Amino acid sequence: MMNHPGTSGADRWNNSKTDLKMKYGHFDDAAREYVITQHKTPWPWINYLGNKDFFSIISNTAGGYSFYRDARLRRITRYRYNNVPADDGGKYFYINDNGSVWSPGWKPVKAEVEDYSCRHGMGYTRIGSARGNLRADILYFVPLGDTCEVQRVTLRNTGAMPKHIKLFSFTEWCLWNALDDQTNFQRNFSTGEVEVEESVIYHKTEYRERRNHYAFHSVNSPVAGFDTDRETFLGIYNGFDHPETVFSGRPRNSIAHGWSPVASHCLETVLEPGEVKEYIFVLGYIENPDNEKFIAPKVINKVRAKAMIGRYDTSEKVDAAFAKLKEYWDSQLSVISLSHPDPRLERMVNTWNPYQCMATYNFSRSTSYFESGIGRGMGFRDSNQDLVGYVQMIAQQSRDRIIDIASTQLNDGSAYHQYQPLTKRGNAEIGGNFNDDPLWLIFGVAAYLKETGDWSILDEMVPFNNNPDDAASLFEHLRRSFMYVVNHLGPHGLPLIGRADWNDCLNLNCFSSNPDESFQTTENQKGGQAESLFIAAMFVLYGADFVTIARRRGEIQMADEASDHIDAMVRAVNEHGWDGDWFLRAYDFYGRKVGSHENEEGKIFIESQGMCIMAGIGLEDGRALKALTSVNKHLACEYGIVLNNPAFTKYYLHLGEISSYPEGYKENAGIFCHNNPWIIIAETLAGNGHRAFDYYSRITPSYLEEISDLHKTEPYVYSQMIAGKDAFRPGEAKNSWLTGTASWSYYAITQYILGIRPDYDGLLVDPCIPPDWGGFTVRRKFRGAVYNIEIINPEHKSKGVWEITVDGKKVDSCILPVFPEGTEHDVKITM
């Protein structure tokens, strides 16, 4: 396909996998760290700090920001996206060593440093380097259960002469609402207020009126001076790379009145040869009850801040808090641990993939280096899917999350597409009417039940639309999700798509020709009958869970009726959903086929192949295999499986946003990694372990480390999209971290390839692996017991369990029973 005059993407980029060999660091598996040793990564490589309320994003050169719960409404420090130079602004430290000024993270000063490293670990990041016989290391982490970030700076004189140095900290405050902060300058330049007391700088903008929260930055040592006014600290025409105060070595003790309040401490010290000094900075967030806001007119009540500072004011206390964080992560990550000869697989399964699931669970698609934290809150469909990658580690929080999500459901079964994490209210401004949304709630709840066995959740009374006067059991919410589809069928008996289904950009009813409106929110054209094969398959797949759940609750008639609806849907798919070599994708507004060989472009789509086969459709009659062959032929490429083919080369009014993207990017024939695991799972259902694992490794970051220059994003987390074969630069990734790829890949590898799958009555084992694998072992914690599972593959099979023994005794079922809590069992599986 010639989509660029003269050259195709592949030609132009000339088989990049071999040409662009470049690594920027390495995995330290024992420490569960990725160690970046080249500071100029192809894109800032970030980490997340924080577990529950206080969060930070930090890049490998200390860029980033912090927020309390909601990156839009409660932004603590400021960050400018898409900045020039890239990634400017963060939690910076500057050293003035007798006139030589540098930063331990290289940025922002960018003076040459030696032995630079950034270690991104589980909930912490260490950044350090050396210059002129001085070594500086900073440990950043958010302690468990507290609303602050600890920054421990360690300085070491490695030379033979005493050193007289000045250390400056720097943080720029955000005026709380991140959107307003970047837009409403007529007001904001007049509102900023601070207080300074001893070594603590307090940021209290708007605290006088409606806010009951402030932030602070402290250090556990007397200061030689400070600055809180940005222009004074930097000099109005300087960048972060050249603060006047740092270069002159003279803090000005400025107090911000409006403009841009910042926090900078200046410490002065002498280091003898070999001497090591440590300073502990705390960036904290405090809320005060209304009647305890002030201790005198205009003077904020600092009691809680001081208590927080006191919790981390010595190295021992910081060590202890850091040790707790490590213990926490070790315990979280001990739920599933794999031993396998391939370290690239082990490090994904044991560390980085579940760690990324933590981030998607916490932030949905709201805040990363590609998501500004302003646009999107928690997605209804996204959060349900994110849960599936994380539920095994945080059962109680998952329970709460399910209730939060379900509380935003409307009483006709439909859903807000997004809600704000702080208010937990549906956000209509982001759009609605995505007709797949309701079914994801069944998927999320079923995953929770299978993992925990906690059926009581179904009796929880949960409001609709957060209205306490309109509540029903969670089970009733599931019924309405199911019935929403039944009540919205189109002319072929297939589900109406609404605004869109999983593919936000397949806007079949939208007909937008106005560039000033959003595809996601604009009014749909009335009278549309567009139908989705994807939702149809989802209904068959997750509808079956609804039936099981209903039946187990004794709702036999309801279960039977639901089964009938599912059977009817299977018939509709069989009659109207097969194109000859693959499953159709949809019917458009006018009832014409989408994703058919009859179409000029977009003849085949990935989503309906994955979902239909996962739903079991076509597995018996050969259509599934045919569809998978078509996927392999038309969609698979070196870097993964593209979403559709051929890519759309022009805008189609009746297809919407999908055709607005250049070929090979995002939903228009990009490798939209989220849906690759559906094909991976489908391949395992078809028994093809070789292909399943091959597809897995094409998108899995640890396998892409060697091509970091091309891939660009972090080699330790999945990206939402890798440019597809029709793109200008195939293989280049974007939108790392916050993507459904995290939970789906984890789900696919642990539950379908390794094949250890929680089910309602126990742990099902049914691996589907490349035949050359000799075996592997998995230690799995499940409902309080430990399963030590050894899988051996002497005959080099892909699939099929020959024999299972539990504690030495042969058993007949592939479902391992639920064992008493606290017990440990040896399971041996021969394939």
Catalytic residues: 504
* CA separation for the pair 148, 232 (Å, rounded): 26
The contacts of residue 376 (CB under 8 Å, 6+ apart) are 364, 365, 366, 418, 430
- A 10 A CB-CB count for 517 gives 12
Q: Which does 819 bind (CB under 5 to 8 A by kind): ligand NOJ, ligand BGC, none?
A: none
For residue 129, with 0-12 CB atoms within 10 Å meaning exposed, 13-18 middle and 19 or more buried, which class applies?
Answer: buried
Task: Report if residue 499 touches ligand BGC, rule: CB under 6 A.
Answer: no
Instruction: Quote the least distance from Cβ 637 to ligand BGC, whole Å.
Output: 20
Half-sphere exposure of 9 (CA within 13 A, CB side): 21
Which residue, 429 or 567, is less far from ligand NOJ as judged by CB?
429
Which residue, 386 or 766, is less far from ligand NOJ as judged by CB?
386
Contact pattern from residue 665 through residue 704 relative to ligand BGC, giving x for each residue in contact according to CB under 6 A and a dash for the rest: -xx-------------------------------------
Task: Report if residue 379 touches ligand NOJ, rule: CB under 6 A.
Answer: yes
Instruction: Quote the least distance from Cβ 510 to ligand BGC, whole Å.
Output: 13
Which residue, 505 or 530, is less far from ligand BGC as judged by CB?
505
Instruction: Quote the least distance from Cβ 412 to ligand BGC, whole Å.
Output: 23
- A 10 A CB-CB count for 236 gives 9
Torsion of CA 365, 368, 369, 373, to 10 degrees: 80
Task: Report if residue 382 touches ligand NOJ, rule: CB under 6 A.
Answer: yes
The window from 342-350, 379-387, 509-517, 551-559 that contacts ligand NOJ (CB under 6 A) reads: 379-387
737 phi, psi to nearest 5 deg: 80, -70
Q: Which does 120 bind (CB under 5 to 8 A by kind): ligand BGC, ligand NOJ, none?
A: none
Q: Which does 70 bind (CB under 5 to 8 A by kind): ligand NOJ, ligand BGC, none?
A: none
Contact pattern from residue 393 through residue 432 relative to ligand NOJ, giving x for each residue in contact according to CB under 6 A and a dash for the rest: ----------------------------------------
Instruction: Quote the least distance from Cβ 514 to ligand BGC, whole Å.
Output: 16
Instruction: Quote the least distance from Cβ 119 to ligand BGC, whole Å.
Output: 32
Question: Which ranges constitute the DSSP H helices of 65-205?
Answer: 178-181, 185-188
Q: Are 432 and 499 in contact (CB under 8 A)?
A: yes
Distances (CA, A) of 299 to 176, 202, 502: 20, 11, 51
Contact pattern from residue 497 through residue 526 relative to ligand NOJ, giving x for each residue in contact according to CB under 6 A and a dash for the rest: -----xxxx---------------------
* CA separation for the pair 371, 736 (Å, rounded): 10
Q: Are 475 and 487 in contact (CB under 8 A)?
A: no
For residue 461, with 0-12 CB atoms within 10 Å meaning exposed, 13-18 middle and 19 or more buried, which class applies?
Answer: exposed
Angle between helices 437-452 and 380-388 (to 10 degrees): 20
Lookup: tokens for 482: 């199911």
Which residue, 452 or 520, is less far from ligand BGC as judged by CB?
520
Give strand ranges (E) for 766-808.
775-782, 785-792, 803-806
Half-sphere exposure of 585 (CA within 13 A, CB side): 25
Q: Which does 607 bind (CB under 5 to 8 A by kind): ligand BGC, ligand NOJ, none?
A: none
Task: Report if residue 90 touches ligand NOJ, rule: CB under 6 A.
Answer: no
Task: Report if residue 612 touches ligand BGC, rule: CB under 6 A.
Answer: no
Q: Which does 147 bind (CB under 5 to 8 A by kind): ligand BGC, ligand NOJ, none?
A: none
- A 10 A CB-CB count for 591 gives 13
Q: Which does 509 bind (CB under 5 to 8 A by kind): ligand BGC, ligand NOJ, none?
A: none
- Among residues 124, 19, 11, 33, which one has the least CA distance to residue 708? 19
| Residue 695 Cα to chain centre, angstroms | 21
Which residue, 501 or 705, is less far from ligand NOJ as judged by CB?
501
In the bound state, the residue with its beta carbon closest to ligand NOJ is: 504
Q: Are 155 and 162 in contact (CB under 8 A)?
A: no
Contact pattern from residue 365 through residue 404 relative to ligand BGC, giving x for each residue in contact according to CB under 6 A and a dash for the rest: -----------x----------------------------
Which residues pair with residue 602 across a beta bridge?
none
Instruction: Quote the least distance from Cβ 738 to ligand NOJ, whole Å.
Output: 8
Instruction: Quote the least distance from Cβ 417 to ligand BGC, whole Å.
Output: 9
User: For ligand NOJ, how many residues bind (rule: CB under 6 A)?
Assistant: 9
Q: Which does 381 bind (CB under 5 to 8 A by kind): ligand BGC, ligand NOJ, none?
A: ligand NOJ
- Return the biggest CA–CA distance within the chain: 85
Instruction: Quote the least distance from Cβ 641 to ligand BGC, whole Å.
Output: 17
Which of the residues 166 through 205 are near ligand BGC (CB under 6 A)? none
For residue 600, with 0-12 CB atoms within 10 Å meaning exposed, 13-18 middle and 19 or more buried, which class applies?
Answer: exposed
Q: Are 553 and 475 in contact (CB under 8 A)?
A: yes
Q: Which helix (H) or strand (E) holds 324?
A: helix 315-332
Question: Which ranges constitute the DSSP H helices of 617-713?
Answer: 623-630, 676-685, 689-699, 708-711
* CA separation for the pair 208, 255 (Å, rounded): 17
Helix (H, G, I), strand (E, B) or coil at 212: coil
Task: Report if residue 663 touches ligand BGC, rule: CB under 6 A.
Answer: no
Instruction: Quote the least distance from Cβ 376 to ligand NOJ, whole Å.
Output: 7
Which residue, 192 or 377, is less far from ligand BGC as judged by CB?
377
Which of the residues 349 through 368 are near ligand NOJ (CB under 6 A)? 365
Instruction: Quote the least distance from Cβ 772 to ligand BGC, whole Å.
Output: 36
* CA separation for the pair 106, 127 (Å, rounded): 9
Instruction: Quote the least distance from Cβ 665 to ligand BGC, whole Å.
Output: 9
Which residue, 149 or 607, is less far from ligand NOJ as judged by CB?
607
Contact pattern from residue 517 through residue 556 relative to ligand BGC, giving x for each residue in contact according to CB under 6 A and a dash for the rest: ---x------------------------------------
Q: Are 286 and 147 in contact (CB under 8 A)?
A: yes
Task: Report if residue 505 touches ligand BGC, rule: CB under 6 A.
Answer: yes
Task: Report if residue 601 touches ligand BGC, rule: CB under 6 A.
Answer: no
Q: Are 133 and 159 in contact (CB under 8 A)?
A: yes
Q: Which does 520 bind (CB under 5 to 8 A by kind): ligand NOJ, ligand BGC, none?
A: ligand BGC
Contact pattern from residue 443 through residue 482 relative to ligand NOJ, giving x for each residue in contact according to CB under 6 A and a dash for the rest: ----------------------------------------
Contact pattern from residue 657 through residue 676 relative to ligand NOJ, giving x for each residue in contact according to CB under 6 A and a dash for the rest: ----------x---------
Task: Report if residue 585 touches ligand NOJ, rule: CB under 6 A.
Answer: no
Lookup: tokens for 774: 């000799």
Binding ligand BGC by CB under 6 A: which of 172, 195, 227, 504? 504
Instruction: Quote the least distance from Cβ 503 to ligand BGC, whole Å.
Output: 8
Contact pattern from residue 622 through residue 661 relative to ligand NOJ, giving x for each residue in contact according to CB under 6 A and a dash for the rest: ----------------------------------------
- Among residues 162, 115, 270, 287, which one has the least CA distance to residue 215? 287
* CA separation for the pair 434, 382 (Å, rounded): 12
Instruction: Quote the least distance from Cβ 765 to ligand NOJ, whole Å.
Output: 30
* CA separation for the pair 373, 217 (Å, rounded): 22
Q: Which does 379 bind (CB under 5 to 8 A by kind): ligand BGC, ligand NOJ, none?
A: ligand NOJ
Rule CB under 6 A: which residues touch ligand BGC?
376, 504-505, 520, 657, 666-667
Rule CB under 6 A: which residues touch ligand NOJ?
365, 379, 381-382, 502-505, 667
